[in-house]
């Protein structure tokens, strides 16, 4: 199996192209290959597959073997991969995902090099039961969450995958390991959840640290940055163009008022290619 190791702001993936469908053992393969000691090491295993509705289809398996509906950093990696490997000769392409359907992607290329990728991440899903949470409400904003004696308040947003956004005093130094896994698996989230701890610095800038569903603490989360921006607008804390600073770097998010779509712009990089 040929693969390329890629990352989006340090959120890293093993990218496999050329398969016609997800292999039956994709979950076991992801657990084995994503292991940072006995395998290649990554946050996820990503397959680029044919699509009847878009230029390509992307499927992503977390390092714990669970399949995710969507992955912002991986879409940017996949888009760079297909352009660099001349699987497409255009800079405007479409990628189909489980959780957001057909997504338009714009590759920003300079002197033949993909500098950044702008992805239409679609419309945020805010209905409590659709995120999903157990809360039957049109929107879940600043909802109380009891977690082993500590009370958090959260805002729920789905970008095709579930996110629990929590505002804290100092996101950069927040104890992710202490609270991330407890919230990820909290019964309020029937399909578990990604957890974003956020500090708002201005109307156009937040710090965010993420505990990802099925992957734990990652250096960046594209859908999480989108959820952070949407939540911050809903809570009246930022405007609709927000720079989200993650441990691995910055993502630029726009929640467009006219079409209600969320646009994410950021880099993608190749680390090495290999063969198993």
Neighbouring residues of 111: CB distance < 8 A, sequence distance ≥ 6? none
Nearer to ligand API, 128 or 160 (CB): 160
What's the token pair of residue 56?
Answer: 């390509």
Is residue 180 a contact point for ligand API (CB under 6 A)? no
Is residue 245 a contact point for ligand API (CB under 6 A)? no
Phi, psi of 149 (to 5 degrees): 90, -10
CA distance 54 to 31: 28
Q: Which residues, listed in sequence order, are joined to residue 36 by a DSSP beta bridge?
A: none
Chosen residue from 94, 97, 194, 231 binding ligand API by CB under 6 A: 194
Q: What DSSP designation does 179 have?
A: H
What's the token pair of residue 221?
Answer: 């989360």
Q: Is 62 annotated as a binding residue?
A: yes
Q: Is 164 part of the annotated catalytic residue set? A: no
> Which one of 79-87, 108-116, 177-185, 207-215 is the stretch in contact with ligand API (CB under 6 A)?
207-215
Is residue 120 a contact point for ligand API (CB under 6 A)? no
Chosen residue from 5, 186, 213, 247 binding ligand API by CB under 6 A: 213
Query: Within its chain, how far is the Cα of 220 from the centroid?
Result: 8
Is residue 212 a contact point for ligand API (CB under 6 A)? yes
CA distance 276 to 2: 6
Residue with tokens 């009891």: 146
CA distance 186 to 102: 31
> Which one of 90-98, 128-136, 177-185, 212-220 is the stretch in contact with ligand API (CB under 6 A)?
212-220
Which entry of 34, 164, 221, 226 is annotated as an active-site residue? Answer: 221
From residue 12 to residue 51, the character string flagging contacts with ligand API as x (rule: CB under 6 A) and all else as - is ----------------------------------------
CA separation (Å) from 2 to 14, 28, 214? 10, 17, 24
Q: Is 213 annotated as a binding residue?
A: yes
CB of 86 to ligand API, least distance (A): 25
Nearer to ligand API, 11 or 206 (CB): 11
Phi, psi of 20 (to 5 degrees): -85, -25
Q: Is 72 annotated as a binding residue?
A: yes
User: CA angle, corner 217, sides to 168 and 127, nearest 5?
Assistant: 60
Is residue 73 a contact point for ligand API (CB under 6 A)? yes
Is residue 68 a contact point for ligand API (CB under 6 A)? yes
Nearer to ligand API, 171 or 221 (CB): 221
Is residue 164 a contact point for ligand API (CB under 6 A)? no
Residue with tokens 């997800």: 22
CA distance 256 to 262: 6
Cβ–Cβ < 8 Å for 39, 250? no
CB of 235 to ligand API, least distance (A): 21
Which residues contact ligand API by CB under 6 A?
Answer: 11, 62, 68, 71-73, 161, 194, 212-215, 218, 221-224
Residues annotated as part of the active site: 71, 221
């Amino acid at each position: 199996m040929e693969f390329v190791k890629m990352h989006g702001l340090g959120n890293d993936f093993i990218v496999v192209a050329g398969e016609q469908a997800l292999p039956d053992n994709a979950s076991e393969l992801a657990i084995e290959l994503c292991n940072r000691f006995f395998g290649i090491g990554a946050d996820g295993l990503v397959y680029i597959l044919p699509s009847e509705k878009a230029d390509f289809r992307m499927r992503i398996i977390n390092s714990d073997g669970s399949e995710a509906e969507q992955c912002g950093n991986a879409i940017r990696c996949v888009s760079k991969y297909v352009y660099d490997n001349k699987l497409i000769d255009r800079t405007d392409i479409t990628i189909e995902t489980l959780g957001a359907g057909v997504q338009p992607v714009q590759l920003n290329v300079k002197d033949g090099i993909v500098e950044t990728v702008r992805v239409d991440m679609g419309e945020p899903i805010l209905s409590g039961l659709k995120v999903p949470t157990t809360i039957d409400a049109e929107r879940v904003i600043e909802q109380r969450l009891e977690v082993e004696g500590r009370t958090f308040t959260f805002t729920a947003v789905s970008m095709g995958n579930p996110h629990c956004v929590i505002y804290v005093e100092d996101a950069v130094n927040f104890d992710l390991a202490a609270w991330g896994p407890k919230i990820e698996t909290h019964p309020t989230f029937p399909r578990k959840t990604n957890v974003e701890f956020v500090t708002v610095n201005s109307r156009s800038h937040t710090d965010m640290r993420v505990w990802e569903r099925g992957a734990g603490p990652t250096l960046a989360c594209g859908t999480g940055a989108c959820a952070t921006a949407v939540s911050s607008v809903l809570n009246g804390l930022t405007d609709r163009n927000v720079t989200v600073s993650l441990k691995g770097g910055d993502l630029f998010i726009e929640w467009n008022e006219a079409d209600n779509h969320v646009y994410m712009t950021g880099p993608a990089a190749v680390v090495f290619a290999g063969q198993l």
